[in-house]
Amino acid sequence: MPHESVIVSDPEVLGGTPCFRGTRVPADSLIDYLEAGDSLDEFLDNFPSVSREAAIAALEEAKALLTGHR
């Protein structure tokens, strides 16, 4: 069974910006928070519609893309 990504792009939601599935939270917001030195908990506190599991899955997907492991 294929893995369903937690990140989706829909032209009807934020003009197709990749977002966390079921939300209007852009996926790059998580990267921006971490890049700024904020914790995952701070991100989750500011975006309660994103679950911890979804945020971790998004990071795992990014890692897999960068390392070539899917």
Q: Going residue by residue through the chain (70 aa), what tens digit of pLDDT does each one get?
A: 457 899 999 999 999 999 999 999 999 999 999 999 999 999 999 999 999 999 999 999 999 988 987 5
Q: What is the DSSP letter of 26?
A: B
Q: List the CATH number of the domain containing 24.
A: 1.10.10.10
57 within domain boundaries:
yes
Q: Strand runs (DSSP E) across 1-70, as ranges?
A: 7-8, 19-20
For 20, the token pair is 């966390």
CA nearest neighbour of 50 among 4, 5, 3, 6: 6
Provide the domain count of the chain: 1
Categorise residue 15: left if φ over 0, alpha if ψ from -120 to 50, beta otherwise. left
69 within domain boundaries:
no
pLDDT score for 2: 55
Q: Print the domain residue range for 46.
A: 7-62
pLDDT score for 60: 94
22 within domain boundaries:
yes
67 within domain boundaries:
no
68 within domain boundaries:
no
25 within domain boundaries:
yes
The whole-model pTM stands at 0.86
Cα-based distances in Å from 7 to 4, 19, 39: 9, 5, 20
45 within domain boundaries:
yes
